[in-house]
Amino acid sequence: MVTFNLLLVALTVCALQAGRMRFEHSATVAAQTVLGSLAQNMAHALNQEPSLEPERVLTRQLQHLPELQDFLGGRGYAAVVDPQWRQIVRQPSLSAHPDRTAPSFENPELRALLMDAVSGGHFFQRSPASHRWSLGMHIGADESLLLLRRIEGTDYRVLLTLSAWDYLHDWRHERNQAAALVLLFQVVSLIVSVLIHRAWRSQATALRALRFEKGLNQTIVRSAPLAIYTRDTEGRVTAWNPAAEKLFGWTEAEVLGRFLPSVPLATEYQDEDKALRLRVIAGESIPDIEVQRQKVTGEMFDLSASLSPLRDDDGTISGFLTIAADVTARKQVERQVEFLAYRDVLTGLPNRSLLQDRFAQAIARAERHHRKVALLFLDLDHFKTINDSLGHATGDALLKEVARRLSDGMRESDTISRQGGDEFLVVLSDLEGTEMITPVLLKIRERLQQPLLFDGHELSISSSIGVALYPDDGLDFETLLKKADTALYRAKDAGRNQARFFDEQMNTEAVDHLRLKNGLHRALSRGELELHYQPQFDLRTGAVIGVEALLRWRHPEEGLISPARFVPVAEDSGLIVPIGEWVIRQACAQAMAWRQAGLPPLLMAVNLSAVQFRRGDVQTIVAQALRDTGLAPELLELELTESILLQNTERVLEGVDQIKQLGVKLSIDDFGTGYSSLAYLKRFAVDKLKIDQSFVHDLARDSDNAAIVRAIIQMAAGLGLRTIAEGVEDAEVLAVLRRFGCDEAQGYFLARPLPATEFAELVKRFEATPFDMEAISRV
Ligand SMILES: Nc1nc2c(ncn2[C@@H]2O[C@H](COP(=O)(O)O[C@H]3[C@@H](O)[C@H](n4cnc5c(=O)[nH]c(N)nc54)O[C@@H]3COP(=O)(O)O)[C@@H](O)[C@H]2O)c(=O)[nH]1
């Protein structure tokens, strides 16, 4: 721009210079013409009037040329000089215009020049400032043209000067206009330059910012820890950063321009990928999705990705951007958490929460299609015994195997869940009728009964199952669960390895069970429990030698309730532990009270429940009771059932051993109904066998029972154990027992259980007159 301006100025100056020369040339030509005709006129006038003084003629000629004034302009003049170079006339006159001084012809150098010119015919001289002094043509402050011509035939000369001021008047005007234009142009171009400069500067800044932004973006993309990649609308990769290389395993070179490698991507993922692509290229931004994808190695991993469309300048979608991160670790934790929340850790089966969910779905389907749903409550028989005797590892393995067997045999739509321990729940859905349930129950039984081999132990397992039905037995999970539980209870009660469908009778019993359980909580604290005492007779002497403490519950509304009714409830709820403790203390205290009242020393027999061994600390309680009451240990006998001894756990073994070490006697209650193992009789140093009343009460009429009773008595004698028969209801039985050599007897025939005071009176009576056993034998 500057160069252009300089060029423009130079050109303008040149053009002006040329213009000036043109003006000067025109003025010179015109001056020559005028001077020529002046000289001619004057020569002619001199010729016409030879008589007249030439100076007069020449003066008159010059003064009578008014039109010359216009030609000379404001600053020029014409003059006639004589041969001695003196001005004889001048127009305009010097007096009128003293400023228009003639050049000094006294300068000999100038005069010589002029003479040369005159001898050459005519002469003109431009007077540039540089020559002014040398030529001595100073005719004022202005530059001037000076022309001189000799008048023909004389030595007079006509002189004409034209001021540059006058003849360059038009040129000056043009020059000023040009200068103004150039100036204007310069100003405009300056403004334009400034504006252009400014625009250029902002454009440069924008470009720099753009370049910086681009560089920054590239740095961010390349160093980002997130996989960033773009694809065109067809799905071909158009950009692929290092984190994407690291994440997927394919290099940029391998994927650019290609569809994301799908080797060997499962069809479902391809479909899912395509569906996502179609959504994004339709303009949707998908901010946060979690999908599974494959690495180059084929390994699956979890990806969290955001997808956004990429648009051209005109807004057309040309592809899409994916920003993704590997979230496998988090997803694994989530899956683990979900697993723990909805699965049983040991077996992997759904837990109760998931089962309830599936149950709700089954109910919804059943409602729609008028179907039934069955809830099976399954409990493994004797699992506790297996667990305790073979160890928890075997127990766990057994539970897993049961879970596997149950799962294998079920339909997809059914759900099996472990509730904890050895309890399982099964939801059978979409049942057209109840007849569809029995085959499932048989299948379960058959599958579970297949022998199992664990650590060299062959086990066979069975289960008890309670069944409740939707909608017949209830409409919600909790109701059906309660009813299935009730039915299960009945199945177990019926001897295990059974299945029972819930019926309303069960419900009544279950309600009763609940009522009793709630009442029992209060019974102890309100003093509603009491002990009755049934005497035990020596079959040889007829004397009362012992007493069995039998628990009673004096219910405020129902009166006396049998332990046969409430002890199982107390065992179920664990209340048997505090109740049993109370019984031991009460029985010991009563025995001491009778001793202090003068009754003969009687062996006090107290029943113990298996639950007291499992959950309580019987040995400590017994020791404490003996200490507190002062009863001699040998006057206390604890009646254990075979099931207690069969538990065979460290806890039970230790407990029984410690009791035995106290000096307390042990008897086996209900002997003959269980396993009747001789091993535990020896192991626990049992003192007495109590023959179960089921063998005793029709002993006289049932030869089988008679044979069993006789065998028990003989075996006990052989082992040095005493025997007592319970449930003696008639003299005949008593006579047979005596004949068989049984040591003791107890039963309604001899005496019913009595409250403490009545019992004391009875003992006193029999102390005075023992039961006549001889008379019985004569019956
Ligand atoms: N864990 C505990 N169990 C206890 C306790 N007190 C009793 N029980 C057990 O409850 C069951 C029922 O006992 P109960 O109703 O007291 O019945 C006992 C006797 O009354 C009854 N009996 C006695 N003689 C006869 C008879 O000639 N005929 C007949 N039908 N019944 C008779 O037998 C029961 C005594 O049984 P046992 O204990 O096996 O000797 C019962 O199983 C009790 O054990 C307790 O405090 N804790």
Dist. CA 398 → ligand 1 center (Å) = 37
pLDDT of 118 reads 52
Tell me the three state secondary structure of residue 674: coil
Dist. CA 601 → ligand 1 center (Å) = 22
Contacts of 389 (CB under 8 A, 6+ apart): 648, 649
Q: Whose Cα sits closest to atom 38 in ligand 1? A: 607
Q: Whose Cα sits closest to atom 12 in ligand 1? A: 564
- Can you list the positions of beta strands (E) in 34-186? 77-81, 87-91, 122-126, 144-150, 157-163
Dist. CA 404 → ligand 1 center (Å) = 43
Report the distance separating Cα 382 and Cα 389, nearest Å: 11
Contact of 32 with 124, CB cutoff 8 Å: yes
Contacts of 100 (CB under 8 A, 6+ apart): 75, 76, 77, 92, 94, 139, 140, 161
For residue 236, the 8-state DSSP code is: B
Dist. CA 345 → ligand 1 center (Å) = 43
Dist. CA 549 → ligand 1 center (Å) = 9
Torsion of the alpha carbons at 341, 347, 351 and 352, rounded to the nearest 10: -150
Position 92: which residue type? Answer: P
Dist. CA 686 → ligand 1 center (Å) = 20
Contact of 326 with 303, CB cutoff 8 Å: yes
Determine if the peptide bond prior to 242 is cis (ω within 30°). no
Dist. CA 550 → ligand 1 center (Å) = 6
- Can you list the positions of beta strands (E) in 611-683? 636-641, 665-671
CA of 583, closest atom in ligand 1? 46
pLDDT of 130 reads 36
Contact of 459 with 398, CB cutoff 8 Å: yes
CA of 563, closest atom in ligand 1? 10
Mutate to test the pocket of ligand 1, among 550, 644, 691 (most ligand atoms within 8 A of CB): 550
**C-alpha distances in angstroms, 620 versus 527, 584, 605, 623, 661?**
23, 11, 18, 5, 12
Report the distance separating Cα 249 and Cα 240, nearest Å: 11
Dist. CA 745 → ligand 1 center (Å) = 14
For residue 635, the 8-state DSSP code is: G
The binding-site residues of ligand 1, defined as CB within 6 angstroms of any ligand atom, are 534, 548, 550-551, 562-564, 567, 583, 607, 609, 639, 669-670, 693, 726-729, 746-748, 753
Regarding predicted confidence, which is higher, 633 or 41?
633
Q: Is 417 exposed, middle or buried (0-12, 13-18, 19+ CB in 10 A)?
A: buried
CA of 548, closest atom in ligand 1? 40
Dist. CA 225 → ligand 1 center (Å) = 78
Pairing of strands 665-671, 559-561: unpaired
CA of 612, closest atom in ligand 1? 1
pLDDT of 625 reads 97
Average pLDDT over residues 244-256: 91
Average pLDDT over residues 217-246: 91
Dist. CA 669 → ligand 1 center (Å) = 10
**C-alpha distances in angstroms, 676 versus 80, 222, 434, 646?**
180, 82, 41, 10
Tell me the three state secondary structure of residue 455: coil
DSSP calls for 688-743: EEEE-HHHHTTTTT-HHHHHHHHHHHHHHHHTT-EEEEE---SHHHHHHHHHHT--
Pairing of strands 157-163, 144-150: antiparallel
If we measure between CA atoms, which residue out of 452, 467, 235, 265 comes closest to residue 372?
467
Determine if the peptide bond prior to 92 is cis (ω within 30°). yes
Q: Whose Cα sits closest to atom 41 in ligand 1? A: 564
pLDDT of 126 reads 44
Report the distance separating Cα 361 and Cα 425, nearest Å: 16
pLDDT of 127 reads 45
Average pLDDT, the chain: 86
Tokens of 417: 């869940």
Q: Whose Cα sits closest to atom 2 in ligand 1? A: 607
Residue 330 has pLDDT above 60, yes or no: yes
Confidence of residue 641 (pLDDT cuts 50, 70, 90): confident
Q: What is the pLDDT of residues 763-775, one digit of tens each?
A: 999 999 999 988 8
Q: Whose Cα sits closest to atom 16 in ligand 1? A: 550
CA of 639, closest atom in ligand 1? 38
Measured in degrees and rounded to the nearest 5, phi and psi for residue 325 equal -135, 150
Residue 636 has pLDDT above 90, yes or no: yes
Dist. CA 649 → ligand 1 center (Å) = 26
Dist. CA 232 → ligand 1 center (Å) = 88
Q: What is the pLDDT of residues 100-159, one digit of tens each?
A: 555 556 667 666 666 665 554 444 444 444 333 333 343 344 567 777 778 888 888 888
pLDDT of 649 reads 65
Average pLDDT over residues 157-186: 82
Q: Whose Cα sits closest to atom 32 in ligand 1? A: 727
Pairing of strands 463-470, 372-380: antiparallel
Dist. CA 592 → ligand 1 center (Å) = 22
Average pLDDT over residues 333-350: 87
Q: Whose Cα sits closest to atom 7 in ligand 1? A: 550
Q: Whose Cα sits closest to atom 47 in ligand 1? A: 607
Regarding predicted confidence, which is higher, 637 or 143?
637
How large a percentage of the chain has pLDDT more than 70? 91
pLDDT of 774 reads 87
CA of 749, closest atom in ligand 1? 27
Report the distance separating Cα 681 and Cα 672, nearest Å: 13
User: Comparing 399-413, 443-457, 644-658, which segment has the lowest mean pLDDT?
Assistant: 644-658
Chain centroid to CA 145? 104
Contact of 248 with 240, CB cutoff 8 Å: no
Q: What is the pLDDT of residues 706-730, one digit of tens each?
A: 999 999 999 999 999 999 999 999 9
Dist. CA 465 → ligand 1 center (Å) = 29
Q: Whose Cα sits closest to atom 28 in ligand 1? A: 727
Report the distance separating Cα 192 and Cα 636, nearest Å: 125
CA of 576, closest atom in ligand 1? 1
If we measure between CA atoms, which residue out of 93, 97, 76, 66 comes closest to residue 27?
76
Residue 263 has pLDDT above 60, yes or no: no
Dist. CA 641 → ligand 1 center (Å) = 12
Confidence of residue 740 (pLDDT cuts 50, 70, 90): very high
All domains in the chain, ordered by first residue: 24-93+100-167 (3.30.450.20), 225-332 (3.30.450.20), 345-502 (3.30.70.270), 522-684+748-768 (3.20.20.450)
Average pLDDT over residues 346-374: 93
pLDDT of 765 reads 94
Q: Whose Cα sits closest to atom 42 in ligand 1? A: 564
Mutate to test the pocket of ligand 1, among 607, 615, 723 (most ligand atoms within 8 A of CB): 607
CA of 570, closest atom in ligand 1? 1
Dist. CA 617 → ligand 1 center (Å) = 23
pLDDT of 506 reads 74
Q: What is the pLDDT of residues 593-624, one digit of tens each?
A: 999 999 999 999 999 998 888 777 899 999 99
**C-alpha distances in angstroms, 92 versus 45, 64, 68, 78?**
20, 11, 9, 7
Average pLDDT over residues 504-508: 77
Determine if the peptide bond prior to 753 is cis (ω within 30°). no
CA of 562, closest atom in ligand 1? 15
Position 192: which residue type? Answer: V
Q: Whose Cα sits closest to atom 26 in ligand 1? A: 727
pLDDT of 12 reads 77
Contact of 263 with 256, CB cutoff 8 Å: no
Beta-carbon count within 10 A of 738 CB: 18
Q: Whose Cα sits closest to atom 36 in ligand 1? A: 726
Report the distance separating Cα 278 and Cα 547, nearest Å: 90
Contact of 118 with 157, CB cutoff 8 Å: yes
pTM of the predicted structure, to 2 decimals: 0.50
Regarding predicted confidence, which is higher, 119 or 391?
391
Report the distance separating Cα 409 and Cα 623, nearest Å: 52
CA of 753, closest atom in ligand 1? 20
Q: What is the pLDDT of residues 512-544, one digit of tens each?
A: 888 898 899 899 999 999 999 999 999 999 999
Q: Whose Cα sits closest to atom 3 in ligand 1? A: 607
Report the distance separating Cα 727 and Cα 553, nearest Å: 21
Confidence of residue 6 (pLDDT cuts 50, 70, 90): confident
Q: Whose Cα sits closest to atom 33 in ligand 1? A: 727
pLDDT of 104 reads 56
Kind and range of the H or E element at 325? strand 317-326
Dist. CA 520 → ligand 1 center (Å) = 19
Dist. CA 657 → ligand 1 center (Å) = 25
Dist. CA 607 → ligand 1 center (Å) = 9
